[in-house]
Amino acid sequence: MQDVLKNLDLSEVNPGAGTGATWLECGGDMLESVSPIDGRVIANVRQASASDYDQVVLKAREAFREWTMVPAPKRGEIVRQMGNAVRVRKRELGALVSLEVGKIWAEAEGEVQEVIDICDFAVGQSRMLYGLSMHSERAKHRMFEQYHPLGPIGVITAFNFPLAVWSWNAMVALVAGDTVIWKPSSKATLTALAIMRIMGGVLRENKLPEGVLNIVIGNRNEVGERLVADPRLPLISATGSVAMGRHVGEVVASRLGRSLLELGGNNGVVVTTKADLELAARAILFGAVGTAGQRCTTIRRVIVHKEIFGPLADALIRAYSQVVIGNPLEDGVLMGPLIDRQAVERMQVALESLKKQGGRIIYGGEVLSGGLYDAGTYVTPCICEARNNYPLVQEETFAPILYMIPYQTLEEAIQYHNGVPQGLSSAIFTNDLLESEVFLSHMGSDCGIANVNIGTSGAEIGGAFGGEKDTGGGRESGSDAWKAYMRRQTCTVNWSGEMELAQGIEFGKV
């Protein structure tokens, strides 16, 4: 553990606000970073106070003036260097992610890979910040649109993807010409500080203003609420729970700022009689048990044709019983701990309500004890039989609970599938072309992501990531998500020497 910290330039006590190259003497409370693996304190962070927060915003604003003057492809070159700097630290960063949030090393390294991938993507994007040109209705006029940097932006992230989600926002925002203020989850502070140090080093080597990237770790009142309400930040991108996002959305809307929200998922997969059951079971295993059920893209509901309910349940029980649960840094372990004891408690409360609402546990759901398990954060992943309309099934419980819901017709399956408040990710398992086309049509899945014969999680960075309804409507990462980080300007240039008005209007004479 000490080696990981040392290699990543972290100390026993770390300042929680700065640019990655320089740090503030923070005036807020001390915060421990506790590993869910064994409940031990990894290191401490001195949090930012309200006035530290203000310092950070001043830095980000100052840096913005300079950064916008760097041509976009040159900004891309800096992001390329950042990607390379992360490439060579992939192992250590992965280890720290495992230590701090408990996901298995393979998945933690996968997360670091997402950072590298989005850097590569953003480098290309830096030469493709395209606007359209239009034909004017007036003679000898030219009309076109262009995209300008937006300003310093705020990025709020959750514990479960402590690097990737920030990087989808930050790397794209950087090529767009914005500067970034990051408020990471209080449960994943060290990982955030480590990558900021790496990125800050790249900015410093290139003699760029340090405040291009900023981090501010602090509590809700001193930092969180200020950031969200701050009119100096034209965009707030927030990832987390629906309750958090609803609040952020309201506050940002009341100051007429922009928000980009990526909130809860309650992702369903439909398994039809035409599915390859073995393939479906393997995908569901990863989708439901990966990251211990703590991805916003985790499979939470399996909507399965009643004829194959039994065989699929059997295949899943077989697969679940082989999952090795333990220290996520050890080879062969497939599931680490939940983030903390509260998460375990919430899972237990959920399973109690499931029983009251008429559901049935068909596998797992126990809290483990003995040895490492005494940390109180280890559970067995759980499979339940349920109905879609149970209040519990309508909610996202951030834990490895999988609801199996039987259906009879595809129409009914889609109705169940869409019959939840959230709309992030979805999938159908079928080898029947017509069934899959129905699912992908406007009459099918109502989610931001819809897959065929793969699970709901593990999306690639190249697509736009996000969802509908209570998921918040935002899109991050690939495709044209970059547009959210820029302001669009429509321009008309008159080179006619005449004063012609649009819509044929005649208006006075001089």
CB of 458 to ligand UN1, least distance (A): 5
- For the window 434-463, what string marks contact with ligand UN1 as x by the rule CB under 6 A? -----------------------xxx----
- CA angle, corner 308, sides to 304 and 311, nearest 5? 115
296: annotated active-site residue: yes
Nearer to ligand UN1, 326 or 458 (CB): 458
What residue number has its CB nearest to ligand UN1?
459
Nearer to ligand UN1, 407 or 429 (CB): 429
Q: Which residues contact 484 (CB under 8 A, 6 or more apart)?
A: 235, 237, 258, 260, 474, 475, 476
CB of 362 to ligand UN1, least distance (A): 25
- Give residues 193-222 in contact with ligand UN1 (rule: CB under 6 A): none
Which residue in the list 262, 396, 435, 476 is annotated as catalytic? 262
Q: Which residues contact 34 (CB under 8 A, 6 or more apart)?
A: 40, 41, 42, 340
Q: Strand 425-429 to strand 267-271: parallel, antiparallel, or no bridges (unpaired)?
A: parallel
Out of 295, 300, 305, 417, point to the residue binding ligand UN1 (CB under 6 A): 295
Return the number of other C-beta atoms located less than 10 Å from residue 71's C-beta: 12
Nearer to ligand UN1, 100 or 210 (CB): 100
Largest CA distance in the chain: 91
The three-class DSSP label of residue 23 is strand
- Give residues 239-278 in contact with ligand UN1 (rule: CB under 6 A): 239
For residue 86, give the H/E element and its range: helix 72-87
Task: Tell me which stretch binds ligand UN1 (CB under 6 A): 121-129, 157-165, 301-309, 402-410.
Answer: 157-165
Q: Which residues contact 230 (CB under 8 A, 6 or more apart)?
A: 57, 154
The three-class DSSP label of residue 269 is strand
293 binds ligand UN1 (CB under 6 A): no
Out of 119, 296, 313, 316, point to the residue binding ligand UN1 (CB under 6 A): 296
Nearer to ligand UN1, 460 or 498 (CB): 460
Which residue in the list 26, 119, 296, 382 is annotated as catalytic? 296
Of 195, 201, 202, give the one whose Cα is nearest residue 164: 195
Out of 189, 297, 422, 451, point to the residue binding ligand UN1 (CB under 6 A): 297
Burial grade of 30 (CB within 10 A; 0-12, 13-18, 19 or more) = exposed
The amino acid at 197: R
262: annotated active-site residue: yes
The three-class DSSP label of residue 118 is helix
CB of 296 to ligand UN1, least distance (A): 4
Nearer to ligand UN1, 327 or 471 (CB): 471
Out of 125, 160, 169, 397, point to the residue binding ligand UN1 (CB under 6 A): 160
Residue 393 is classified by DSSP as T
Nearer to ligand UN1, 49 or 445 (CB): 445
- For the window 114-143, what string marks contact with ligand UN1 as x by the rule CB under 6 A? x-----------------------------
Structure tokens at 389: 């309309």
Nearer to ligand UN1, 59 or 183 (CB): 183
For residue 354, give the H/E element and its range: helix 341-356
User: What is the spatial distance between Cα 408 and Cα 414, in angstroms, rounded to a whole number?
Assistant: 11
> Rule CB under 6 A: which residues touch ligand UN1?
114, 160-161, 164-165, 239, 295-297, 457-459
Residues annotated as part of the active site: 262, 296
